[in-house]
Amino acid sequence: MPENNQQYLARTFQEQKGRLTSILTYYLGTEHLTVIEDLIQDTFYAALKTWPTNPPRSPEAWLITVAKNKAINYIKKSKNLSFSEQLDHLVFWNAEDVFSEKEIENSQLNLLFACSCLDLSEKNKIILILKLLGGFEASQIARVLVQGREAVFKSLQRSLKNLNKEKLKYYLDNPSSKNLETVNTVLYLMFHEGFQTYPENASRGKDLCHQAIYLTNLLIDRGIGQTDTLALLSLMYFNLARFDSRKSDLGSLILLENQDRQSWDKKLITLGFKYLQNSGSGFKLSPFHLEAAIASVHCSSDSFANTDWKKILWLYDRLIEIKTSPIILLNKAIVVYYLEGPEKAWGILEDIGQDPKISSYHLFYAVKGEIALHSGNQEIALSLFKQALSLTKSELEKELILGKIKEMKDSE
Amino acid sequence: MKDFILLLREDFDALDALSIDEMQELVESHMNWVKELVASGNFKAGDGLDKEGAVIASKSRLVTDGPYMEAREAIGGYYIIQAENLEQAVEISKGCPALEHNGSVEVRPIMVY
């Protein structure tokens, strides 16, 4: 019997659930997702009942085989003629052949494309992908995305209905470049969500980042991903490298300026550079290329003081030429602040403040407050910090802002 | 040493409502518990039971589908352990993970004659 169950169940049930959902959907079709969920639940129940006294040599293979058999039994019982082809396929082949690793990966990509190309908001797509491919439950998604459980639940119901009508098409046969762009964007946002929700939900946030990286890698391995996908992967690795350095041992937030660069993961940074280099082989310069390049400048600087702000500003200007958003401009303003001082940065902030999209973004006020403070406008800074405080949902960010306010009062 | 059978009565509704993490935890805790019993020399046998089955009524021999939907708790599995006496068997059974999820464990000596 194996020494350690933790090691033994190397792949978690959650991850397995995503894999089983993908492969069963591949065979049974998206219109049968409710049944698929039941089949998977039954599979885990069978594991609960048999593993304690008959531990399988390979838990993954065991789960796949049992899920496959349950699917066959279901099809036979349902007498649904539309299943006959799948039944032949499932019955006459071994689980090892039919549900091979390669086939599971194909099914995951297929489902990823199917979900990404639905007519839904990006947030709803992420929720759906986390549920189906990531094996996340509504309550976990709610925690990671800082949303109400009820809202996540409703979003899922709506999206599943949508997917139901769609039926699963074999997207992989002909992945159009437009679809690929959508998939890239969804993966980017998925990673971003995991990255920014971090402090309070460290492990779940990281799960999300890893899930996004896993799927991005899969796109590349299968030759579906293009140079922008490579740049995206590079960006993910650069960011993941400093994932843990954003929080102190005492649990408070640490800003980029004060992070211990020694603790950044060198291996991940190397991977970031590797993919950034590979991404340069095409003619297309995507926003991911520029964002990855910006991250690479931070990662290759040995201290905050030595940051090459000129290079970063140049990259931001190129980025803004092909894609602009108030958030990108906000980041540019920070760079301008370090390079040219608070007055110039303040001007940019005044401009983007007109955009209603940014008026509820707490970091906008936090950054503006910081710049006001450094221009000597204590009162304005204080009111901006208070605005940021009222908008953030993160306890750790609240703590950080309160610390700033206290510092200001102490120095008066 | 005597043999005892532990009948695990489980709340199937509670099991169905487990989250994926809780399910994994429960599987792991059962596996760990069995390992402990094997290590201490108290383990003899055990199996889980499928949810489906049949009940045959007395006299009429009427067969109905199990599991027994009316009863919140149905037998979900059994273990056979070895212990010095009932007291020790009960002490051991208090560690059974089935107790964590609204289940109960019935400890019965297997009759020797």
Among A6, A20, A45, pick the best mutation site for testing chain B contact (most B Cβ within 10 A).
A45
Partner-chain residue, chosen from A49, A55, A139, that has the shortest CB–CB distance to B48: A49
What pLDDT shows up at residue A2? 38
Could you say which of A1, A12, A41 has the minimum Cβ distance to residue B35? A1
Q: For A34, which DSSP code?
A: H
**What percentage of chain A exceeds 70 in pLDDT?**
88
Residue A171, Cβ neighbours under 10 Å: how many? 20
- Can you give the residue ranges of every domain in chain A? 324-412
- In degrees, rounded to 5, the angle at the alpha carbon of residue A27 between the alpha carbons of residues A68 and A162 is 125
Taking the C-alpha atoms of residue A14 and residue A211, their distance in angstroms, rounded to an integer, is: 11
B49 with A49: Cβ contact below 8 A = yes
Nearest to A186 by CA among A231, A108, A110, A130: A130
pLDDT higher than threshold 90 for residue A271: yes
How much is the mean pLDDT over chain A?
85
What residue in A sits closest to B22 (Cα-Cα)?
A13
The gap from C-alpha A377 to its chain's centroid, in whole angstroms, comes to: 38
Q: Considering only CB atoms, which chain A residues are within 8 Å of B19?
A: 137, 139-140
Does the CA dihedral A385-A390-A392-A396 come out positive or negative?
positive
**Closest residue, chain B, to A56 (C-alpha):** B31
* Mean pLDDT for the stretch of residues B75-94: 96
| Distances, alpha carbon A215 to alpha carbons A25, A103, A111, A194, in Å | 17, 14, 11, 14
* Strand ranges, E, within A112-263: none
Distance between A11 CA and the closest CA of chain B, angstroms: 11
Exposed e or buried b per residue across A145-162, where buried means at least 16 C-beta atoms within 10 angstroms of its C-beta: bebeeeebbebbeebbeb
Residue A52 structure tokens:
């304690």
pLDDT for A23 beyond 60: yes
**pLDDT score recorded for residue A94:** 61
pLDDT value for A1: 36
pTM: 0.80
Interface test with B, best of A38, A42, A49 (most B CBs within 10 A): A49
Other beta carbons within 10 angstroms of residue A288's beta carbon come to 26
Interfacial residues of A (vs B; Cβ cutoff 8 Å): 1, 5-6, 9, 12-14, 17, 41, 44-53, 55, 135, 137, 139-140
Task: Using pLDDT thresholds of 50, 70 and 90, give the confidence band for residue A233.
Answer: very high
Give A131 or A141, the one with higher predicted confidence.
Answer: A131
B23 neighbourhood in chain A, CB within 8 Å:
13, 44, 48
Chain A contact for B20, CB < 8 A?
yes
Using an 8 Å Cβ cutoff, are A229 and A284 in contact? no
Contact B64, B55 (CB under 8 A): yes
Residue A60's pLDDT is 86
Fold of A324-412: 1.25.40
**Tokens encoding A303:** 């201290």
Facing residue for A13 by CB, picked from B24, B38, B45: B24
Helices (H) and strands (E) in chain B, counts: 3, 6
Chain pair A-B, CB pairs under 8 angstroms: 62
In the numeric block, the tokens 């996908």 are attached to A229
Alpha carbon separation from A181 to A9, A97, A289 (Å, rounded):
35, 32, 14
- A191 within 8 A of A160, measured Cβ to Cβ: no
CB A371 within 8 A of CB A345: yes
pLDDT tens per residue, range A33-68: 889 999 999 999 999 999 999 988 888 889 988 998
When pLDDT is averaged across residues A189-193 and rounded to a whole number, the result is 86
Is residue B16 less than 8 Å (CB to CB) from chain A?
Answer: yes
Task: Tell me the pLDDT tens digit for each residue of A285-306.
Answer: 899 999 999 999 999 998 898 9
Q: Per residue in A336-384, pLDDT tens? A: 999 998 899 999 999 888 887 788 788 899 899 989 988 888 889 999 9
Looking at residues A305-327, what average pLDDT do you find?
A: 92
Sorted by where each starts, the structural domains of chain B and their CATH numbers stand as 2-109 (3.30.70.1060)
The yes-or-no verdict on residue A136 having pLDDT over 50 is yes
Nearest to A139 by CA among B71, B50, B20, B99: B20
- Within 8 A by CB and 6+ apart from A223, the residues are none
ipTM of the shown complex: 0.88
Structure tokens at A346: 């303040």
Hey, are the CB atoms on B20 and A47 less than 8 Å from each other? no
Asked if residues B40 and B32 have their Cβ atoms less than 8 Å apart, the reply is no
